[in-house]
């Protein structure tokens, strides 16, 4: 595994010594506490099971996106109800919102 694949806070071994990743380019030696610059390509060995590869910048888990979108969709529906529109107009807006939701979910 390469240093850049570790998430910040994870423990790893490098050159026979134990470190903890403290930033994108720094690690802290576990015994001395001294900081060490680490090349992104430095080969490291994770020391804990949670040392998973880092997500790509800006990557958000799909479940989080879906949960946030569903909460947004529900709120939009609540706001529509509060507009005080006639039944036909409200139903037309609901259908449009439902169609927009389907399009969004299909695009994932």
Alpha carbons 99 and 8: distance in angstroms, whole number: 41
* CB-count burial class (<10 Å; 0-12, 13-18, 19+) for 47: middle
CA distances from 40 to 50, 71, 92 (A): 19, 38, 54
Q: Where are the chain's structural domains?
A: 3-46, 62-107
Short-list 93, 88, 11, 94, CA closest to 52: 11
The residue ranking higher by pLDDT, 92 or 64, is 92
DSSP 3: G
CB 97 within 8 Å of CB 77: yes
Segment 29-86, tens digit of pLDDT: 999 989 999 999 999 999 976 545 555 667 777 777 888 888 888 888 888 888 888 8
Length of the chain equals 108
Q: Whole-structure pTM over 0.85, yes or no?
A: no
Q: How far is CA 34 from the centre of its chain?
A: 30
């Amino acid at each position: 595994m390469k240093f850049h694949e570790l998430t910040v806070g994870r423990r790893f071994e490098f050159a026979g010594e134990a470190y903890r990743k403290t930033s994108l380019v720094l690690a802290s030696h576990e015994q001395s506490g001294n900081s060490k610059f680490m090349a992104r390509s430095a080969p490291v060995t994770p020391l804990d099971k949670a040392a998973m590869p880092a997500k790509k910048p800006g990557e958000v888990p799909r479940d989080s996106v879906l949960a946030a979108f569903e909460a947004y969709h529900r709120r939009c529906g609540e706001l529509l109800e509060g507009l005080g529109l006639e039944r036909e107009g409200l139903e037309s807006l609901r259908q449009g919102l439902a169609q927009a939701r389907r399009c969004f979910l299909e695009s994932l």
